Amino acid sequence: MSAGDHGATQPNSQYEEALSTISSLITRRVRADGKNMGDQFDLMFQYIKMLDLEEPISQLKIIHVAGTKGKGSTCTFVESILRTSGFHTGLFTSPHLIDIRERFRVDGMEISEEKFLAYFWWCWNRLKEKTDEDVPMPTYFRFLALLAFKIFTAEQVDVAILEVGLGGKFDATNVVQSPVVCGISSLGFDHVEILGNTLGQIAGEKAGIFKHGVPAFTVRQPDEAMCVLEKNASELGISLQIALPLDVDMLGGLHLGLSGDHQYINAGLAIALCRSWLERTGQIEGFHVDQSSSLPKQFVEGLARAHMQGRAQIVPDQHLITKKDSDMRETNSKPGELIFFLDGAHSPESIEVCARWFCRVIKEGVQFHGKVEDEKFNGKHITVRGFSESAKYEWKVPDFSGETSAQFLLFNCMSVRDPQLLLPPLINTCALSGVHFHKALFVPNQSAFNKVSSHALPSNDPPDVDLSWQLTLQRAWDSLIREAKGTNGGKNKDSNWKMEDNKDCHLSDVFPSLPQAIKWLRDSARQNPSVRFQVLVTGSLHLVGDVLRLIKK
């Protein structure tokens, strides 16, 4: 069996058992709901006592980051800068895309299965022994935060970078009482059903991570949000400092490791947080950090080496390069003719940023030469196993032979989100750049929300699945496309929207599974070998993770 076959890597049964155990903690209860006092947030302090982590946590030198957009990228930049500067780092982020261990990184690497299991069962067994009806087992994310504290204290990291999971005030990571420095990335509308319907309410939740005497940094925010952040900071007697976006000239010809113009905002915040951390921990000697004139070599290298899956990530489908047909003869597929552009954007603001990035990179004509852009694989070719040809459903493959490139959208989002807010920024931003999708594909997620994904891939031909939400998304998309076409007649040369009626484009389909959608894309690419197929995957980090699992296995 080849390395690319699904069965080549046998799952660790002990690891699978741990994932199943963790899954038992997943609950549908609303988090951070002010009506129930943050779902009994104070229980976090009792859990920490049960695990004897009070003193160890107090010794951690923590950087705490909240925000709507860019908090994960900011944390990734911070970790990379400080690791490149010679520090022993711990990074806790969420969500994970493929493996839960991605959430716990020590010195830039996800923790090993062996260590994960040791720390997991240590925490689990002690909590099971000491919890009861009055103090039940912690819920899923709270347990993961507790596990992160155990890992980072046991590994004796020099710095622990904590990304807030949701909100701030009642987030599990906010059990930290004395971080070294706090940061708030860009704010926008997300999780409004939990955090509030105005930017002011959302900012108030995020500002909940501010602590008396602890420096706080943010980026330029809308006035409504900035006023609330400043008010909260003032009440704690701290000044809120604004970190300016990084000037590209400060990189000395290098490029940020994370793609997108918006990353210069996150990089600027990361630099400010690192500088403050170095100053307050007495480590600043030898680092001349003046963002207005120059950056230390370690900072520049850290920014350039930063890596994060599922954010502005480009992955060519190696399946078309290496797949052999049934009689083991190589196919004639050309390298790079099916390329996935992945970004887990799931708010109107981040969707717009994602669309700008997608349009820019496809217009630049990125070349890959059949290599995966992912340091995990070190640029080597990998074999990706194909899916069953005996599909339960069949979709006609249009003729794209008249095109040099064809753009597709692969989309899903959570049902709590409004497609009428998410889809227009995507359609309009792409239209402004002259990019129009030939087809939008709507799919359900592969991963279950009530179970932590294992190494094993779900079935390619799942049983009956409820597609009502995907059909809702499709109707919203079709309506927006019809409206755009009707408004401009599809022919208005002065309009940003240009559609020729004789083109087989702007269609949509709902697929019952992600593997079926990817199979359709691969079949289309094979039947149109002269066309470069460019697929934007967005709307959900869960979807992005599912796609990565499928195309990299």
Burial class (CB in 10 A: 0-12, 13-18, 19+), 260: buried
Residues facing residue 159 across a β-bridge? 89
Enumerate the β-bridge partners of residue 66: 184
Q: State the pLDDT at residue 416.
A: 84
Look at residue 191 in the predicted model and tell me its pLDDT. 53
The number of C-alpha atoms within 13 Å of 3 and in the hemisphere containing its C-beta is 5
Do residues 138 and 184 both lie within one domain?
yes
Taking the CA atoms of 191, 197, 198 and 200 in sequence, report the sign of the dihedral they define: negative
Query: Which two three-digit tokens encode residue 374?
Result: 């992912």
CB atoms within 10 A of CB 292: 7
Q: For residue 194, what pLDDT is reported?
A: 54
Is position 191 annotated in a ligand binding site? yes
In terms of domains, do 168 and 299 share one? yes
Domain containing residue 329: CATH number: 3.90.190.20
CA dihedral 395, 396, 402, 403 (to 10 degrees): 0
Instruction: Specify if 227 maps to a domain.
Output: yes
Task: Locate all alpha helices (DSSP H) within 176-286, ordered by sequence.
Answer: 192-195, 199-206, 223-235, 263-280
211 with 341, same domain: the answer is no
d(CA 277, CA 429): 38
300 and 313 inside one domain:
no
Nearest CA to 21 out of 128, 109, 151, 152 is that of: 128
Does 436 lie in the same domain as 355? yes
Residue 94 marked in a binding site: yes
Do 313 and 278 fall into the same domain? no
What's the rounded Cα separation, in Å, for the pair 225 and 534? 37
Report yes or no on 500 lying in a domain.
Answer: no
Range of the domain at 417: 309-365+400-450+468-480+506-552
For residue 396, the model assigns a pLDDT of: 56
For residue 4, the model assigns a pLDDT of 35
Closest CA to 538 of 441, 453, 448: 441
**End residue of a domain, out of 305, 333, 348:** 305
Statement to judge: residues 278 and 321 lie in one domain:
no
Whether residue 423 is contained in a domain is answered as yes
Q: Measure Cα distances from 383 to 4, 55, 244, 386 in Å.
A: 5, 48, 43, 9
What's the domain count of the chain? 2
Same domain, yes or no: 301 and 333: no
Q: Are residues 165 and 254 in the same domain?
A: yes
* Percent composition of the chain: helix, strand, coil (DSSP 3-state, to 5): 40, 10, 45
Residue 404 in domain? yes
**Residues 321, 189 share a domain:** no
Asked if the structure places residue 355 within a domain, the reply is: yes
Beta bridge partners of 63: 161, 181
119 lies in some domain: yes
Q: Is residue 457 part of a domain?
A: no
Same domain, 323 and 299: no
Neighbours of 74 (CB within 10 A): 34
31 is in an annotated binding site: no
Beta-strand ranges (E) seen in 389-506 are 405-411, 439-442
| Mean pLDDT in order along the chain per 10 residues (553 residues) | 38 87 78 51 96 97 95 97 97 93 97 97 98 94 97 98 94 96 89 66 94 97 95 95 95 91 95 96 79 83 94 86 44 62 90 93 62 35 29 50 82 91 95 93 79 60 78 94 67 39 62 93 89 94 90 77
Q: What DSSP letter does each residue of 364-398 carry, written as one string?
A: TT---TT--S-GGGTT-----PPPPSS-SS-----
Q: What is the DSSP string of 60-107?
A: --EEEEE-SBSHHHHHHHHHHHHHHTT--EEEE-S--SS-GGGGEEET
- Does any domain span residue 80? yes
The CATH code of the domain that includes 88 is 3.40.1190.10
Kindly state whether residues 200 and 324 are assigned to the same domain: no
